[in-house]
Copies of this chain bind each other. A is one copy, B any other.
Amino acid sequence: MSLPHAILTALLEKPSSGLELTRRFDKSIGFFWSATHQQIYRELGRLEQSGLIRSLPQPPSRGQRKEYEVLPAGRAALVEWVAQPQDPKAIREPLLLRLRAAATVGGRGLAEELERHLELHERQLAEYLEIERNDFPLEHAAEENRLQHRVLSAGIGLEQFWVEWLRETLAVLRPGV
């Protein structure tokens, strides 16, 4: 049940059309919750039917841009969701699974794959650090900014972890296999 609330948050920050939302999910929000345009359109329809958002008066024809805004009920639903306890979800990391399988059946070519992942994570880390430089140049005191900075820090920390772990794992793998 996270996607509808991700959309509500995005719409509260700024009323948008489906495609605009898709683009924002490709950037900032998508860093910790990704979604395709198909998911977003489906969810926008549901949210409108539930009375949590409404489309601004505009021609509802097919190829026409349709902008949505959050209704009070939507804001209330989001507030409630934020306060609700939710357990962290179990890890589902295919790469670790493949490493474990490789321990059993042998891992020819696995080092190349790990290097590829290392590059991807290095690139993502660089992107996050760039954002941090741009958006949080110095520690301002505003509460809102501090929370957003913590979210970005999580992304940075996770990427740093993977970069480090992949480097160590490659060091273990290289001389052996």
Contacts and interface: CB of A to CB of B under 8 A. Distances in A.
A100 B148 contact: yes
B143 A93 contact: no
Interface stretch (A15-23, A49-57, A61-69, A103-111): A103-111
B120 A87 contact: yes
Interface in A117-138: 117, 120-121
A38 interface: no
B88 A151 contact: no
Copies of this chain, whole number? 2
B12 A88 contact: no
State the main secondary structure of chain A at its contact with B: helix
A150 interface: yes
Interface residues of A, number: 72
Interface of A: 2, 5-6, 8-9, 12-13, 29-34, 75, 78-79, 81-83, 85-110, 113, 116-117, 120-121, 143-144, 146-148, 150-151, 153-155, 157-158, 161-162, 164-165, 168-169, 172-173, 176-177
